Amino acid sequence: MRVLLIFLLLCAGGVLAVWRGWVDVPARWNPWAPLDVRAEPNFLTSYKLSRLRDDPALCDQVLSTSGLRFSRQADSAP
């Protein structure tokens, strides 16, 4: 039980270190970094895409830095 607690504390400390930026992780492997649409997809891509759905400013930032041509569309009913 004690080993499990130590393991969980180390994992939580690692997540906190990445989230706060104390540990430098490449953006493609950092779940809190903005999506780079030019990068090869990985297991975090779907999570990063889901963040764009609820954050129009982040979506604009990602599209602006992508080098793609795009036009904004009004929201539609599902």
Residue 49 DSSP class:
H
Asked if residue 27 lies in contact with residue 33, where contact means CB atoms within 8 angstroms, the answer is: yes
- Looking at residue 40, what is its pLDDT? 93
Domain assignments of the chain as residue spans, ordered by start: 1-25, 34-69
Count how many residues are written for the chain. Answer: 78
* Angstrom distance (rounded) from CA 35 to CA 62: 6
Q: How far apart are CA 61 and CA 21, in angstroms?
A: 20
pTM above 0.75, yes or no: no
What's the whole-number mean pLDDT along residues 53-67?
90
- Calculate mean pLDDT across residues 57-66: 91
Q: For residue 40, give the DSSP letter.
A: P
User: What are the pLDDT digits (tens) for 11-56?
Assistant: 999 989 988 889 888 989 988 888 998 999 999 999 999 999 889 8
Six-digit token pair at 38? 């030019």
